[in-house]
Structure 1
């Protein structure tokens, strides 16, 4: 029996925050945050707690911050505000580290978010209904006043959530004395404080609002407000507009549930003076994000890749597999199982492809939102009349039976000699050559060693005012179907999500806690249609958006960053990952420029490995690892007493087999550690006698402890008395 103590210093805990620890044992909730151990602050302000565990060899754990919101006077939901997202969780070896009395970590003080020499914290995800994350956006010419005396260049805007069941004591207009019996005796805290991300500022991260709001320049600024609620049916917002230079209220407005009709949209809210006279209005965009609603799909805290990116050589990604085949020449039909597998065979590290939904809600792989449908039978001798239809209006059976063509293949004078048709001419083509494979089939039948960059196609309004595909699926419904297909079939495959739609990127990050997200940016370019949303048309704004949203990084358009690579430099400054996509990358010299001069993390291009054969970095790493550790190791010696921690392990173990397993584990971990830090690849060899591994010394075991706990450069947790002296 062991007693493991936890102590953690939290620098930025809010008054409503609780500190939790969850981990690999039932006493810590088995990685379920709703069953985690809650820590309590001691006199020095350090959050402490302990748990009694059985005879375990290893305990892994993470800390997180959370708070509770209440649906009514009794029922509540946990909201995860921040959690540690290092790839490897914290680790303790009770059999090695415990005292004679079985006490472990009694004098160790961790620092929240700091582990293995790195600070890594992420926003939580939505873990249970009825929790919603609500985003309000104020951008462009958002404020309009009727009288010139109220018109200014800059204002300050404050957005405050309200539960309409509560009385608003700050509002003099809320003076109805007859409704007191309907009001709860104690106000229901069903919402969180509002945070704001000012994307036009140098520090775009979410933060709590100031008392008199945040400065907003009408016409140029972009402000995202965020709050959480567990009672959206009663949720409203009070919007206050102050003068920029003084704490004087100019106008006030109320966004009520009737104003926010759907889960997303645009609305205008009337602005009134304190006497109730109309003075103007404010335009808002809103988005409600709810937890994923798929049966038997839950997320735990044991492992997360949302902020993990191993620094290595630039990854090379096959665009739509082997490349765009419908408007350019490619060796295989784009976005098919054959094309994806061929790219993997040619050494692609990842393959990129586009996913959208059919009418019967099947995730299929296809780039464009529309196809041309021929109403005649498949015959070369009959006239065919083509009509443009959206993929969302066709079910899978119709897609497989109809004669389909690409929307750009229509019209006279089209040079179609070197492009591939959507529907194959030969009806007996192999299944892997067929268009519209399902996402599930791609996950099951494409080489498991190649990573997937899954681009989620969600229509947006173009700069020319044309909507890419109107009356599309609801945001949450769309994402739930695709995420369910990924999590049910991905297994151990490397996955990165991406989208041109910034709201989709935010929602992916809010709905799951395992896979990272890249924001696709158009930037300023002449080759492709751009969008009205400034977050994707300006590369610097895209960087700020990615930093504020806490996603992995940005996928830039090559034409834009070839002119000016400043956005990539800024992304690195924020610790973001940078990918690049675009036709310019079909030139080998451009690829080398981005890899070796700019130093991006990934490049996406057509016809990968066709002219210059390559092997994927993952296969090379695996081969190198096999070469290093593939040889059978000699047996571990059992005679003699080891020193220090090894002696303690012998004393607490019942069999030599356990000791040998410990030494083998230590051998494997130390090899990896030495490879990174000292260049050694072998366990120390005894200086005399037959060539075999010697028993580890105290120094060896200290290095093993450091490596197995994910610690580097000699960093060790601070003892409690040090924290107390600094408090």
Structure 2
């Protein structure tokens, strides 16, 4: 698996040049698939020719893995997994196939590695994720149509070819993650026999099945990528973060069982084990209660283990394809970007901006002051509608009731209210002990100023030149116990509902996902291949109580988790970067090919915005673009037709 690379901007082409090329080569510049007019013209002017594809691997595949090809012609499967072209193995490193293609047409294609489950369904293991696919040049009848020798993952063309291969997205399989990512997970019965802080852990399938693989990430800087387990398990010591990553076919979900085996770090002896079945996973996430039984005496319990899990299901709406991916697209040539926090800044405070936060008016205000992107917060209502609001709940009161003191207000969670009721609710805030009421959604005559806009409205009404950081709100468990809020909506359902609207209406613009929930980031990463994902963390803060997930505790832990699951990077809290080593910390992220978008109240001054730019932040997210935007900035970075043309391939519907 190669380290993710940041790509340079794609070349653009004018419509006039495109039409000229079409006339010369029929459809040489076509980026679409299944274009009937071009295919018809090509069939008249092009002679079908057998084209041979030869590819060499940089390392052999696993015995069950196979290599395939897909591209923008019908004979190449039109980027679809189900219609791909398998290659034949020549030896451990060389593969080839021959496809009849139109000779005068320039084609685009990619290679990928897959496995088949017992039902013959393909699972994408790894695929070439360069922003621009490979190109197969056209040739005339007088020319010899020689195909190049490709190196899997190595981009063709350019002075410095780069290797870029990433894991696929879920199609006919699911992911189970078993997470050793907290404190006090074991309750030990016999410390002399079993020391849970110095063991080696292994997840073993009780029954083997095609398409089932167990990997792990032990999160250490620069070494966190997923890999196969050692024979006697993964060394685990107190404070380590070890995530077991199990991929299995959907049809095995209710049948598969596993053993958690615990070995001695000193003697490699099997100390004990616990059995778990996939059917125990009753929701998208939860906590397993396992009893580790002695290997010598099955009646003896050595320890009890509280083991968190997350279950990632495939995206349930339209299938995705191999045409392109923006999941790791953030060119080095881009400048430090300015991101408007909740639009033009927080509202329910003293001296707030004129526009209420997380409204279309606030987003447009930030854009008017040259913000490159805006950050917004997404919740799901009780009837499954993604809406924009920051907090998990809100203070309200019945119609007509006079409110004078904070204790007269009721607190309700957005996830418990359907959208039509939400629009009618009175909204209050308490600022410096004083109760203030704000216009309800239905009471605000100006559409752009209405609170609780739907995500789809925001995506449709904001200009494409304004990038969007879509933060998925999911309550976290605190170190001292308890959650930020209750959440009863299924996590896979939540992620799919948001993804569905973003894929349908958010394409054609710079857009990135973020979340404080590490597992939500994992879901967003493996459900889709279009948009990048950032892990949002509060780090080593003194402002709030730490979260229980160790991955959230400091910047390097966040960077490690991003490497493990191939996220685009992190969105760390500014408080981590006020010391002398700030620039070195950010360099650690860049060395792993990651972005770092810094956020927080400590960003809220023109001097601090300049400071975070100077120490190497990819972007800075702050309130009040109208006050703190650099004076020299004349327009937003994405306010360019040529630059926006780079994002057109996101739109697949």
Fold-level similarity (TM above 0.5): yes
CA pair 624-237 structure 1, distance change in 2 beyond 3 A: closer
Aligned equivalent of 2:255: 234
Aligned equivalent of 1:67: 115
Deviations 1:648-677 (A, max 9, x none): xxxxxxxxxxxxxxxxxxxxx9xxxxxxxx
Q: In the alignment, does 2:214 pair up with 1:199?
A: no
- Give the counterpart of 2:588 among 570, 576, 591: 570
Q: In the alignment, does 2:288 pair up with 1:267?
A: yes
Aligned equivalent of 2:439: 423
Aligned equivalent of 1:150: 193
- Give the counterpart of 2:76 among 10, 25, 28: 28
Aligned equivalent of 1:122: 166
Aligned equivalent of 2:128: 84
Note the C-alpha offset of 1:99. Answer: 7.1
Aligned equivalent of 2:598: 580
Deviations 1:307-341 (A, max 9, x none): 11112210111111100011252231100011111
Deviations 1:49-100 (A, max 9, x none): 1211124422001111111122xxxx232111111111111112223xx673
Note the C-alpha offset of 1:591. Answer: 1.1
5 Å-filtered alignment, 1:387-406, equals 387-406=410-429
Deviations 1:443-467 (A, max 9, x none): 1111221011000001111233231
CA pair 382-331 structure 1, distance change in 2 beyond 3 A: closer
Q: In the alignment, does 2:57 pair up with 1:14?
A: no
Check the 8 A contact 2:186/2:306 in 1, yes or no.
yes
CA pair 9-437 structure 1, distance change in 2 beyond 3 A: same
Q: In the alignment, does 2:90 pair up with 1:42?
A: yes
Name the CA distance, whole Å, in 2 between partners of 1:392 and 1:49: 52
Deviations 1:532-588 (A, max 9, x none): 111112211111000101010011100112234243222112111111001111111
CA pair 516-426 structure 1, distance change in 2 beyond 3 A: closer
Q: In the alignment, does 2:348 pair up with 1:326?
A: yes
Note the C-alpha offset of 1:280. Answer: 2.2
Name the CA distance, whole Å, in 2 between partners of 1:621 and 1:334: 26
Q: In the alignment, does 2:456 pair up with 1:435?
A: no
Aligned equivalent of 1:608: 625
Note the C-alpha offset of 1:479. Answer: 0.7
Name the CA distance, whole Å, in 2 between partners of 1:562 and 1:595: 13
CA pair 108-264 structure 1, distance change in 2 beyond 3 A: same
Aligned equivalent of 1:590: 608
136-145 vs 433-442, which moves further: 136-145
Q: In the alignment, does 2:138 pair up with 1:104?
A: no
Check the 8 A contact 2:276/2:290 in 1, yes or no.
yes
TM-score (norm 2): 0.84
Please say which structure displays the higher CA radius of gyration: 1
Note the C-alpha offset of 1:227. Answer: 1.3
CA pair 39-426 structure 1, distance change in 2 beyond 3 A: closer
Q: In the alignment, does 2:433 pair up with 1:414?
A: yes
Gaps of 5+ in 2: 1-47, 647-653
Note the C-alpha offset of 1:113. Answer: 4.4
Give the secondary structure class of the aligned counterpart of 2:387.
strand
Aligned equivalent of 1:211: 231
Name the CA distance, whole Å, in 1 between partners of 2:154 and 2:364: 39
- Give the counterpart of 2:299 among 277, 282, 301: 277
Note the C-alpha offset of 1:103. Answer: 2.4
Gaps of 5+ in 1: 164-187, 627-668, 670-727
Name the CA distance, whole Å, in 2 between partners of 1:513 and 1:425: 35
Q: In the alignment, does 2:432 pair up with 1:444?
A: no
Q: In the alignment, does 2:365 pair up with 1:347?
A: no
Note the C-alpha offset of 1:381. Answer: 10
CA pair 335-428 structure 1, distance change in 2 beyond 3 A: closer
Name the CA distance, whole Å, in 2 between partners of 1:191 and 1:36: 18
CA pair 426-151 structure 1, distance change in 2 beyond 3 A: closer
Name the CA distance, whole Å, in 2 between partners of 1:575 and 1:464: 34
Deviations 1:288-308 (A, max 9, x none): 1111112xx221111110011
Name the CA distance, whole Å, in 1 between partners of 2:574 and 2:308: 30
Name the CA distance, whole Å, in 2 between partners of 1:19 and 1:426: 56
Name the CA distance, whole Å, in 2 between partners of 1:212 and 1:83: 30
